Structure 1
């Protein structure tokens, strides 16, 4: 893999970026050190494994054709030392210090002339626990692809990779000259795609609104600063609630987010909005068993978060019914599928139109809420077990909060990325997540 055009959505993410709105995903992984690893050995191991991941050697460069396009190409002067760094934290609460620093590091855009990723090894004053912060540009990978790339640093996945590379399923050869049935099928598919794109565009126009959140933190201007908040939810509690309420575990988590926002706004003394805020809930368009395409394959659902509803169980019921309607319609239709439109635009339109489209995101949704899948197996780095991992999503223009959730080790880890000036009390919102889950559990078991 030496040269490869950026897929349309990757190109859109690449051009959406600005100094105030870096478009990288992240994850903060905390490890239980046993004293067997020093900082130098962790950095060496991480650098060795990152260098062995082919995708992490790729950088973005401009191309003559198509006009406005860009391509991935292998960086001939690739030096993993420019991407893997060590930061020693002062003594104190290591987890809190690592979380604070991770938020600040998420502010900084990735250097665009290099492969767009960074990893930081964070250690404390004393040997023991350590953390790894991973930053991957959204053009490089969506959530599922980011997990596949980032997982290569762990002992279990790196060991499996060393034993033998995964073989891609062969594609039978075929003639480049299409037959009459192929021509008809292609034309029919293109007409269907165009019709679907027109329908999505119309839905976006109808869904766009100007009744923003008034004086709320979510209507504040962007400062370019970042803060990371974290919460840990019991997976058993989530599943107990789901068994009583029906639906999915993700429905429960979306209801937790809605309830947490309500609690947080009331504690701040803010009036509840006249219209419930809307969440953009990304959905992968990757098909199980399908080709391992490297580009972003995303759509999304739009979901009204019922923060105006005072009863926790009624909020969950409303979320479950709304998500059932979204799923019945499918991820390729409706205003939430706006990302699908990227496939129907020429590269030049992405180059000049992405910043405009990014500025309009605020009229479509208020907060991003995404679930990032992780391997179910126990993971470790250099023999030190992974004890927590907090995913981080980028902030869209004009927005102050993004929520990402990952399940690992029987717990749901919540990463809250916020504009640091607009949401200085992010820890209070993180605490509201656990309070809301407790309220739902009481309603389910009482």
Structure 2
């Protein structure tokens, strides 16, 4: 057989099918409800031309990052499914754009976050925003949530940063998925039909039964979470498709001072700061905080190294009622810590916050047909998203310009007015706030509330230490 015949008979690689949660994110999107996440990075510039140079570098490096060449398209089998497929005519200039100079990076980012990504192309964009004074520029990365979760988006963005800051392994292509159809049983996703050993069937059936019990437990918790709700109209809105963003930078040392005084984790403090800021925001705008305990969804990553599909969303979560109605900052923090400890004891496989796991029990056609229903259901389950996106401790650069600030931007659930994302970068905490611009024209008040709340916690903790 000659080489040409060998190429004709070689089986085509299996499609990189979207995981159930990825498929859910892809199908719930509408023009008024885009499902992309973002990251706004601010870089120090040595000259006004650095922004243009950064855009040229991003366009030149993007083709070498495999994940950036993938678009999402439907497949025949399974019915209703979709897969990531490489595009042969990938043009980085379709994705990397140089914007006009601006004095307000967040105002520009909000306008850009409104625009849905082109679903016919690899669903990501990088917008380079020159600073009006020429001493800085920003890059807004947008990734569809079906293409990447926060960790995967970080890897893709890091792939176009200066090579000296990027380990070689991060640019390596993802491992090829197993060949053959995936079996619709929990615990069997990575098996091939020809590899099924009948002797393993009893164990697999037991695993499937256990998974069904877990799904029932989560479903029951979801129903309970819709009872006895104490929220505020300020957290919900009709989806307008408009977006506003704000960023807040806090010192990690201040957060550690609070944590060492009260106990718990850094994450407990960061969530408590959100609760206190929401209280200040509601009081400032006249909504009032009495009796308000909004339900916050705290995503938890279930990603494991060397998985067959490292780019897929692997998420669970905790559901926490934020003590917005509590007037004492330390009492708010202790309440958050207790709630988080309770969730951690139960684990990320249980409780209403683990609702994302139910996506694994829905066939692809169900995701396709049920997307609109799922999109509307989010507002019934939780009131605000509070998520943490880890960043590398090493300093990142682009074209030799150091990254000085980075604000993660989470997608808004349909019918909700606010989402909060947090990252720690080089000893500083960065809060990225995203809001429906029509529902929350005063997002700057919430940003101010975050600063004031941490300052209040630091003052109270200093007083506590002084009286010990």
Give the alignment's TM-score, normalised by structure 2: 0.89
1:407–1:413 contact (8 Å) kept in structure 2: yes
Q: 1:193 — aligned with what?
A: 211
Q: 1:202 — aligned with what?
A: 220
Report deviation, 1:160: 3.6
Write the deviation string for residues 348-380 of structure 1: whole angstroms up to 9, x where unpaired: 110111211110111111000000000110111
3-state SS in 1 of match to 2:259: helix
Give the alignment's Cα RMSD to 1 decimal: 2.4
2:16–2:177 contact (8 Å) kept in structure 1: no
Q: 2:401 — aligned with what?
A: 384
**Distance 1:163-1:438 versus aligned 2 partners, 3 A rule:** closer
* Structure 2 counterparts to residues 162-241 of structure 1, below 5 A: 165=172, 176-209=194-227, 211=229, 213=231, 216-241=233-258
Matched, 1:32 2:69: no
Name whichever of 136-145 and 288-297 sits farther off.
Answer: 288-297
Report deviation, 1:161: 3.0
Q: 2:109 — aligned with what?
A: 102
**Distance 1:63-1:169 versus aligned 2 partners, 3 A rule:** closer
Q: 2:99 — aligned with what?
A: 87
User: What runs of 5+ residues in structure 2 fail to find an aligned partner?
Assistant: 1-12, 179-190, 464-468
Q: 2:429 aligns with which of 412, 437, 444?
A: 412
Report deviation, 1:178: 3.3
Q: 1:127 — aligned with what?
A: 134
Give the alignment's TM-score, normalised by structure 1: 0.93
1:379–1:385 contact (8 Å) kept in structure 2: yes
Write the deviation string for residues 158-183 of structure 1: whole angstroms up to 9, x where unpaired: 65439984897999x99944334422
Name whichever of 287-296 and 411-420 sits farther off.
Answer: 287-296
3-state SS in 2 of match to 1:153: coil
Q: 1:427 — aligned with what?
A: 444
User: What runs of 5+ residues in structure 1 fail to find an aligned partner?
Assistant: none
Q: 1:284 — aligned with what?
A: 301
Q: 1:367 — aligned with what?
A: 384
**Distance 1:352-1:297 versus aligned 2 partners, 3 A rule:** same
1:151–1:157 contact (8 Å) kept in structure 2: no
Name whichever of 48-57 and 335-344 sits farther off.
Answer: 48-57
Q: Distance in 1 between matches of 2:145 and 2:409?
A: 11
3-state SS in 2 of match to 1:391: strand
2:117–2:124 contact (8 Å) kept in structure 1: yes
Write the deviation string for residues 179-227 of structure 1: whole angstroms up to 9, x where unpaired: 344222211111111111111111111211485745x322332222100
**Distance 1:126-1:252 versus aligned 2 partners, 3 A rule:** closer
Write the deviation string for residues 255-276 of structure 1: whole angstroms up to 9, x where unpaired: 0000000011111121225341
Write the deviation string for residues 245-294 of structure 1: whole angstroms up to 9, x where unpaired: 11110000000000000011111121225341010000001135655622
* Structure 2 counterparts to residues 126-145 of structure 1, below 5 A: 126-145=133-152
Q: Distance in 2 between matches of 1:261 and 1:167?
A: 40
Report deviation, 1:40: 3.0
Q: 2:123 aligns with which of 84, 108, 116?
A: 116
1:213–1:219 contact (8 Å) kept in structure 2: no
1:276–1:304 contact (8 Å) kept in structure 2: yes
Name whichever of 70-79 and 110-119 sits farther off.
Answer: 70-79
Matched, 1:7 2:24: no
2:65–2:171 contact (8 Å) kept in structure 1: no
Q: 1:351 — aligned with what?
A: 368
2:231–2:293 contact (8 Å) kept in structure 1: no
Matched, 1:77 2:89: yes
**Distance 1:267-1:75 versus aligned 2 partners, 3 A rule:** same
